[in-house]
Amino acid sequence: MTYVHDAVVVGAGINGLAAAITVAQQGFSVQVVEAADELGGACRTAELTLPGYRHDVGAAVIPFGAVSPFFGEFDAARYGLEFLHPLVPAAHPLDGEEAILFERSVTDTAAGLGDDASAYRRLFTPLAAHAQPLFDQFLGPIRPPRHPLLVAGFGIPALLPAAALARASFRGNRARALFAGLAAHSTRSLSRPATSSVALMMAMTGHVAGWPIVRGGTANLITALAARLADLGGTVETGRSVASLNELPAARVYLLDLMPRDVERICSDALPSRYRRRLRRYRLGPGVFKLDWALHGPIPWKDPRCARAATVHLGGGFDEIAASEAAVAGGRHADRPFVLLVQPSLFDPSRAPEGRHTAWAYCHVPNGSLVDMTARIEAQVERFAPGFREVVAGRHAMDTSALEASDPNLAGGDINGGMFSLTQFFLRPAPRIPPYTTPNPRVVICSAATPPGGGVHGMCGWWAAQSALRTLRASRAR
Ligand SMILES: Cc1cc2nc3c(=O)[nH]c(=O)nc-3n(C[C@H](O)[C@H](O)[C@H](O)COP(=O)(O)OP(=O)(O)OC[C@H]3O[C@@H](n4cnc5c(N)ncnc54)[C@H](O)[C@@H]3O)c2cc1C
């Protein structure tokens, strides 16, 4: 058979590009095929509201930017990529008291947690001190630990429900509220096993490397990766939605930055029916309802220290956040949803006309929900920033169907590439070792539906590329 390329990658999200770069770096020819007219998938930036206001359509904050081994290998400065660090990674306002500041330093964060200061230091000082080996271990598939004691020290509390670990570790509302906000990134009920792992990982990224944004918008991260790929000789075709592997140029290996249902559809001739049945059983997580605002001025926070952070967790205390996530897990819409808000223009003036601002927010909703959460999200912002509605100059809303229309991988509005359950954490999308492989050695999956799952880290792509490289090297040797 004559091959046109060594590898064809379907989908140019962060993971598709990470896979393409990793394969091309080893001297293999790569083509990327992308359905949309621009690259990036859930990492795009666009003028969604008014001219001159640039909004991140998907990811806005890059907590894994500095800790992901894939980015560690990437020469960001050479490709004009700049991470901007807010003064503190996140703020968490509360009713009637000072906001909690989730600071870079464990000690400074603990200082704002009253009676729980020493408990917070006890939990996070050792984790922050040994964070990088833990990131190396957990930003990938399940495999024998290199540092078993360290992994056990993280893994035992990480497996607990966030509600249990918060209750066991902290006595006061402030530390429990902070922990709930961190755990709610899991998009699961905080009483589910392993939701603590998300809180611990998010806290470790913040304490070790901060939660940066990309100057000019997350799309610039993609522009930089695309430039790197071009330097390595990789090519890209946009505006081509792939319906079947058969329509693609002949390649030794196909890397699919796709959700399992699309892998199953596109590979109907290339994968056995048993494996395709497994893919059909893959579980999606809740969706999100997202708002972007063009603002006349900065958000008028009651506690002005909230302006020190790009990321703000809005949902009050532990019980309210837990109730919000439990409602979504139960298929309902919270009256007071937990809202993740980002205010990038405070740290990156290029996002808006001079003196003006942008903000980005979402709350979790049941998968496929078409309920308009605008009023409920804005009520949460107004609660902690009275007068917020008066600074809104324009808004843009995306329900789960609009998100999926913008990127087919956001199935039912799920932004994490699938349900974050214990089994799907390690064995996504189906139980195989390594999970990127399929029964066909020429078909490899590289999307967020593989470990370590959602987030802007590129590690699904990097690990999938290792599987693809095994096939390519064997083919070269033959
Ligand atoms: C609203 C929102 C907010 C988020 N916030 C954050 C955040 O702040 N921080 C963070 O770390 N993560 C965040 N995430 C999650 C993160 O963006 C994603 O987990 C990650 O970008 C997924 O990358 P991916 O490459 O796996 O998939 P995607 O980025 O979804 O890329 C898949 C690509 O494949 C293309 N494609 C699909 N089907 C086909 C086909 N048939 N043919 C050709 N091409 C196809 C799509 O068009 C898309 O470009 C957010 C996501 C969303 C949507």
List pLDDT tens digits, range 389-416: 999 999 999 999 999 999 999 999 999 9
Give the pLDDT score at 47: 98
Give the mutation target among 415, 457, 462, 463 for probing the ligand 1 site: most ligand atoms within 8 A of CB: 415
Tell me the CA–centroid distance for residue 5 and ligand 1, in Å: 25
Domains and CATH numbers, the chain: 5-81+214-283+418-477 (3.50.50.60), 83-213+286-406 (3.90.660.50)
Examine residue 429 and say whether the peptide bond preceding it is cis (omega within 30 degrees of 0): yes
Ligand 1 atom closest to 416 (CA): 19
Dihedral of the alpha carbons of 186, 190, 196, 202, in degrees to the nearest 10: 40
Distance (angstroms) between ligand 1 centre and the Cα of 199 equals: 22
Give the Å distance between the CA of 258 and the centre of ligand 1. Answer: 9
Centre of ligand 1 from the C-alpha of residue 325, in Å: 22
pLDDT score of 352: 98
Question: What is the per-residue pLDDT for 65?
Answer: 85
Give the CA count within 13 Å in the CB-facing half-sphere of 288. Answer: 30
Q: Where does 330-450 have alpha helices with state H?
A: 374-384, 400-406, 422-426
Q: pLDDT tens, 438-464?
A: 999 999 999 999 999 999 999 999 999
Cβ–ligand 1 contact at 290 (below 6 Å): yes
pLDDT band, very low/low/confident/very high, at 475 (cuts 50, 70, 90): confident
Ligand 1 centre distance from Cα of residue 233 (Å): 24
Place of tokens 């789960």: 400
The pLDDT value recorded for residue 376 is 98
What's the confidence (pLDDT) of residue 107? 98
At residue 72, the pLDDT reads 87
Q: Which amino acid is at 201?
A: M
Kindly indicate the confidence band of residue 324, based on its pLDDT and cuts at 50, 70 and 90: very high
CA atoms within 13 A on the CB side of 454: 29
What is the model's pLDDT at position 425? 81
Report residue 477's pLDDT band, with 50, 70 and 90 as the boundaries. confident
Count of helices and strands (H, E) across the chain = 17, 16
The pLDDT assigned to 73 comes to 85
**Residue 116 pLDDT greater than 90, yes or no:** yes
Tokens of 121: 């230091």
Whether 423 has a pLDDT exceeding 90, the answer reads no
Checking DSSP bridges between strand 213-214 and strand 97-102, what pairing results, if any?
Answer: unpaired
* Atom of ligand 1 minimally distant from the CA of 447: 26
Burial of 155 (0-12, 13-18, 19+ CB in 10 A): middle
pLDDT tens digits, 228-269: 999 999 999 999 999 999 999 999 999 999 999 999 999 999
Ligand 1 contact, 201 CB (< 6 A): no
Q: What is the pLDDT of residue 478?
A: 79
Q: Yes or no: say if 248 and 32 are a contact pair by the CB < 8 Å rule.
A: no
pLDDT for position 142: 87
Q: Rg (Cα) of the chain, in Å, rounded?
A: 22
Distance CA 43, CA 411 (A): 16
Nearest to residue 63, comparing CAs of 155, 201, 157? 201
Q: At residue 427, does pLDDT exceed 90?
A: no
Are 53 and 260 a contacting pair, CB within 8 Å? Answer: no
Residue nearest to atom 27 of ligand 1 (CA): 13
Instruction: Give tens-digit pLDDT for 123-165.
Output: 999 999 999 999 999 999 988 888 899 889 898 999 999 999 9
266 CA closest ligand 1 atom index: 41
pTM: 0.96
State how far the Cα of 400 lies from the Cα of 415, in Å rounded to an integer: 10
> Is pLDDT above 80 for 1?
no
Give CA–CA dist 210/270, Å, rounded.
43
Using an 8 Å Cβ cutoff, are 182 and 198 in contact? yes
219-231 helix and 14-24 helix, angle to the nearest 10 degrees: 20
- Band (pLDDT 50/70/90 cuts) for residue 374 is very high
For residue 460, the ligand 1 atom closest to its alpha carbon is 26
> How much is the pLDDT for 373?
98
Ligand 1 centroid, distance to 59 Cα (angstroms): 8
Q: What is the distance between the alpha carbons of residues 238 and 247, in angstroms, rounded to a whole number?
A: 15
Q: Separation of 415 CA from ligand 1 center, angstroms?
A: 7
**Average pLDDT for 352-371:** 98
CA of 409, closest atom in ligand 1 = 30
Question: Cα dist. 399→262, 387, 410, 415, 456 in Å?
Answer: 21, 25, 11, 12, 21
458: nearest Cα among 134, 73, 6: 73
pLDDT at residue 338, as a whole number: 98
User: Which pLDDT score is estimated for 421?
Assistant: 86
